[in-house]
Structure formats: structure tokens, C-alpha cells
Amino acid sequence: MDDRDLMKITRRKFLIVGAVTATTVALPPFISAMASAANQMARPVRAPVSLEVNGVPRQLELDTRTTLLDALREHLQLTGTKKGCDHGQCGACTVMVNGKRVNSCLTLAVMQQGSKVTTVEGLGTPDKLHPMQAAFIKHDGFQCGYCTPGQICSAVAVLEEIRQGIPSHASPSLTDRPQLIASEIQERMSGNICRCGAYSNIIEAITEVAGVTA
């Protein structure tokens, strides 16, 4: 039976439903029956992955569909990195890969073979806080805390990006070195959203770690 058959409604069904005031509908999603049949029994493919996480070599054997985010959270039980949208729009999944911040939900674990990954757990612990973590506590840069690990990983990376002289949309000049000022920090942190609205305190925390008086 192909999609078009499913679009027809039998008279009997129409009567049963009674109060329907508009015609019946297709079968979304508009999937071709052939493509569906070809894939509905496809078995998962597994592959080995070795990567370094917070300084520790880890070996995993994973469904190739596993994102780096789910590899960390579900397979390494490192739940510090958060799944906020799973589509690269919120930044809660931000981790450092080979020294650069990325959205771990939009890369596959298998793509990170040989990579060095740093998560929020790798930045510091309750007994030995990273300066950025301590600053977030001091300046109350969170409420529910769910975006916080991503904010902290991003913030650490942002300061490094400014130090490396990478310009931003907020930089008045492309060729001058970017400054450690609030407008730069706000622009560079725009990929990390916070529904609790701790933004102003987050900027204060980052500004303190940047070594500039707020």
C-alpha cells in the first residue's frame, strides 16, 4: 500500500468520526514507501572509538549514530555536559575538543577518534575549582544550573579566543586586537542561552576571570 492509499478515507471511517469538519489528511511525514521499506530493518552499525576525555584515554564501542554528547553522557556517565536542544542551538552541550569549543551534540563520537576532549568535569572539581567555576559561584552566574557547564566551557574558550586575537562581530576593527570588554564577551557568548536569565552575572564572572575590573 503506498502513500496515496493512506490518503483516502473510507466512507465508514468518515461516518464513525462524525464531527470531522475538514477532509482527512495524508500521512505525514511524506515518506516514500520504498525508502521506508529499505531502511526499516536496517541494523545499527557499531564501531570502536578511542579518545581522551579529561586527560584519561577511553575506549568505546558505539553505534555510529552516537553523538559525542551522548557518548559522554550515556556511555562514559559524564553527565556534566548537558543536552538542551540536541540541535546545536542552545550551547548547553559545549565542550572543548582539541582546545576549541564545539557543540558536542553536532559531532559524532566516531568523528572524534583520537581527539582530546575536555568537559566541565575536567576543568575542576568541588575541591579544586577552576577559576571560572569559582567566579560563577561568586557572581551567582546561574540559577537552575542546566546551561552552566556549557556556559563555563564556552567562557574559558572565549577568553582564550580573545587572547589569540580572533576577532568577533562586535570588534570595531578587524585588524586590531580584540579587547576584553563586555560587548566582546556578550557577542562571543551568544551561542550559550540561559532561560533563567543569569546573563548579567555570567558576564561579570567572565569579566573577573579576564582580569579586568567589571
Partner 1 sequence: MRFDTPASTNPIDQLKVVGKATPRIDGKLKTTGLAPYAYEHHEVAPNQAYGYVVTSAISKGRIGSMNLDAANAAPGVISIVTAASAGKLGKGKYNTAKLLGGPEIQHYHQAIALVVAESFEEARAAAQLVRVEYLRSNGQYDLGHDLAAAVKPQGEAPDTARGDFAGAFSAAPVKFDETYTTPDQSHAAMEPHTSMATWEGEPDDRLERRRRRYDPRAGQGKRPSGIALHWRWFRWQAVHPL
Partner 2 sequence: MRPFTYVRAQSPAEAAAQAAKTEGAKFIAGGTNLLDLMKLEIETPLHLIDVNDLALDRIEATPEGGLRIGALVRNTDLAADPRVRKDYGLLSRALLAGASGQLRNAATTAGNLLQRTRCPYFYDTNQACNKRYPGSGCAAIGGVTRQLGIIGVSSACIATHPSDMAIAMRVLDAQVETVRPDGTTRVIPIADFHRLPGNTPNIETSLAANELITAVTLPAPIGGTHIYQKVRDRSSYAFALISVAAVIQSNGKGRVALGGVAHKPWRVEEAESLMPDGAKAVTAKLLAGATPTHENEFKITLAERTLASVMAQARAAS
Using CB under 8 A as the criterion, which residues of the chain lie in contact with partner 1 when the complex forms? 6, 9, 13, 17, 19-25, 27-29, 36, 40-44, 63, 65-66, 70, 73-74, 77-85, 90, 92, 119-121, 123-126, 129, 133-134, 136-138, 140, 142-149, 152, 193-196
13 contacts partner 2 (rule: CB under 8 A): no
Site stretch for partner 2 (CB under 8 A), options 4-12, 61-69, 134-142, 195-203: 61-69
Nearer to partner 1, 128 or 169 (CB): 128
Return the SS3 of 205. helix
Sort 104 into a burial class: Cβ within 10 Å, 0-12 / 13-18 / 19+: buried
Nearer to partner 1, 83 or 188 (CB): 83
CB of 132 to partner 2, least distance (A): 16
CB of 143 to partner 2, least distance (A): 21
Return the SS3 of 29. coil
113 contacts partner 2 (rule: CB under 8 A): yes
53 contacts partner 2 (rule: CB under 8 A): no
**Residue 130 CA: distances (Å) to CA of 73, 77, 109:** 21, 21, 26
Q: Which residues pair with 103 in a beta bridge?
A: 94
188 contacts partner 2 (rule: CB under 8 A): yes
Return the SS3 of 45. coil
- Reference 81, options 51, 120, 112, 52; nearest CA is 120
Task: Answer yes or no: are the C-beta atoms of 118 and 78 closer than 8 Å.
Answer: no
Residue from 81, 83, 152, 161 touching partner 2 (CB under 8 A): that is 161
CB of 100 to partner 2, least distance (A): 5
Which residue pairs from 54-62 have beta carbons closer than 8 angstroms and sit at least 24 positions apart in sequence?
A: 54/78, 54/117, 54/118, 54/119, 54/121, 54/122, 55/122, 60/109, 62/109, 62/110
Chain residues that interact with partner 2, rule: CB under 8 A: 28-32, 35, 39, 42-45, 47, 63-65, 67, 86-88, 91, 94, 100-103, 106-108, 110-111, 113, 154, 157-158, 161, 164-169, 171, 174-175, 186-192
